[in-house]
Structure 1
Amino acid sequence: MFSAFVLLGGAMGFLGWSQSRPAAETASCYKPEYTASGDLMLPKNFERWIYVGSPLTPNALNDGKANFPEFHNVYIEPCSYDEYKRTKAFPEGTILFKELQLTQDQEFPDGSRTEPSGRGYFPGKLNGADVTVKDTKRYAESGGWGYYNFNHHEPKATTAKVKARSECAYCHIASAKKDDVWTQFYPRLDD
């Protein structure tokens, strides 16, 4: 009887802890970090952020010359995501992290290959990262967003300089669906 009570008491204590834990935890929002010279520092722990999608533009479907020949695994900082879902607007300080990942070697002319799940395109090695930050004052001349490249190869650079409007922003301004973000490719953001 005593052991059953101890076990039950322990289980009840565990259940009470696990149910009240989220309320006790405070979500910490990750804000962009810059060096003294104004370069963006590579965001930390992005892989724990909200995953929004992975467009793919392989070389094999673009005459061997895709501008971005990888899966674009895109994540958004969780507090920014929560605010976006609540207001339908990207808040100041939003960070979108695009991890670049090549496809595995092709078997067929279209770049696809066969794996146990079938014929398709399969993720290969990591190939760097791009990061976008919303700050309408800092990036006023590029539509309110700053665009950074942390190498198009691994390992990722630890800091990056903002890209000129003509390198990234112009395409986002001209073609992205909402607030210079390609929400049309990310169902979690396209409501």
Structure 2
Amino acid sequence: MASGAVIGDGNVTSIPEGFRHWTFLGAPLTPNGLNGGAAGFPEFHHVYIHPDALAEFELTGVFPEGTTIVKELVLMHEGGYEDGSRDEPSGRGFFAKSFNGIDMMVKDSDRFADTNGWGFFNFGHHEPPYAETATAASAAECASCHADNATTEMVFGKFYPILGQN
């Protein structure tokens, strides 16, 4: 499996060890200050993919079975402006502060046929420690949004220039 995730009976039994050292895809941000105070995910989304899965995707244009993509939510430092931004030596902007949750998607076309071949998992939307296991989310929880909006299979490739989907 090109992922590092351990799957059994529909559960991911662990967050892949060392995922923060995988290939960093990007860090989309949808802050509350730009979304009427109610963004669904107001944190940075630090997104990682196992290097072997990325290498195969770059060769074939298809994510291999077992691909695991980890999204770690990262809170921002409190801002002094209405949009949530703040002034720092590098200029006005948004700046990462602390970890606040883990979501993960795993490609397994047999196990997750009902959600276009991908399983979606949440290990908690809070500061660490995160849950040790997670059960696959229902289609309504994650997969339907990915199916309606993703640009490559179930992945939001347009947000990650490294995937060449802009």
RMSD: 1.4
Q: 1:170 to 1:131 in 2, by over 3 A?
A: same
SS in 1 for 2:59: helix
- Distance in 2 between the 1:65 and 1:163 partners? 22
SS in 2 for 1:167: helix
Tell which has more relative contact order, 1 or 2 (C-alpha 8 A, sep 6+).
2
Other-structure match for 2:101: 128
Offset of 1:116 from its aligned partner? 0.5
Other-structure match for 1:51: 24
Other-structure match for 1:186: 160
Render the CA deviation track for 1:152-183: whole Å, top value 9, x for unaligned.
11212111111000010000000110101000
Matches within 5 A, 1:29-48: 29-35=2-8, 37-40=9-12, 41-48=14-21
Which structure is higher in helix share? 1
Offset of 1:29 from its aligned partner? 4.8
Q: 1:43 to 1:136 in 2, by over 3 A?
A: same
Offset of 1:134 from its aligned partner? 0.4
TM-score normalised according to structure 2 size:
0.94
Which structure is higher in strand share? 2
- Distance in 1 between the 2:40 and 2:118 partners? 20
TM-score normalised according to structure 1 size:
0.82
Matches within 5 A, 1:156-175: 156-175=130-149
Other-structure match for 1:5: none
- Distance in 2 between the 1:135 and 1:34 partners? 10
Offset of 1:91 from its aligned partner? 0.4
Runs of 4+ in 1 over 4 A off after TM superposition: none
Question: Which letter maps to 2:11?
Answer: D
The answer as to whether partners of 2:112 and 2:118 remain within 8 angstroms in 1 is yes
Offset of 1:39 from its aligned partner? 1.4
- Distance in 1 between the 2:7 and 2:153 partners? 23
Offset of 1:60 from its aligned partner? 1.1
Structure showing greater radius of gyration is: 1
Offset of 1:107 from its aligned partner? 0.4
Question: Which letter maps to 1:39?
Answer: N
- Distance in 2 between the 1:38 and 1:91 partners? 19
1:76 has 2:49 as partner = yes
SS in 1 for 2:161: coil
Q: Which runs of 5+ in 1 are unaligned?
A: 1-27
